[in-house]
Amino acid sequence: MTNVTRISRGELTASEIVRRLEDEERVIIEATVLGATMELSMRKGGETYYCDTPMRLLTFENADEMRRCLHRFRLAKSDTTADEEPSEIHA
């Protein structure tokens, strides 16, 4: 059975999230997108990383691509600034 970790946006760093995915955990991130709260489900299957959003499924070939996505949409806490507050996603 897969372990599921539920977190709020900006609670973990991208590296911490990827580490959990590599340990076969599913990470669900609660985020506010354009004023609405939604859940984004992160998982790894084989060598592919997945970010399942209510709008579409994003796939990534490696951990670095997944980290870039987590940073791009400000889903992960910054690896350098622990007190940085994420802003809303405007994709």
Per-residue model confidence as pLDDT tens digits over 16-31: 999 999 999 999 999 9
Residue 87 lies in a domain: no
Residue 43 lies in a domain: yes
Residue 85 lies in a domain: no
- Treating both helix axes as pointing N-terminal to C-terminal, what angle do 14-22 and 63-72 enclose, rounded to 10 degrees? 140
The mean predicted confidence, pLDDT, of the chain is 87
Q: Give whole-number Cα distances, 62 to 1, 74, 84, in Å.
A: 23, 19, 26
Least confident of 4-8, 23-27, 54-58, 84-88: 84-88
Q: Is the pLDDT of residue 9 over 80?
A: yes
Per-residue model confidence as pLDDT tens digits over 32-56: 878 889 999 999 999 999 999 888 9
pLDDT at 85: 46
Q: Say how many domains are in the chain.
A: 1
Domain of 21? 4-72
pLDDT bucket at 80, cuts 50 / 70 / 90: low
Tokens of 28: 């669900």
6, β-bridge pairs = 28
Residue 40 lies in a domain: yes
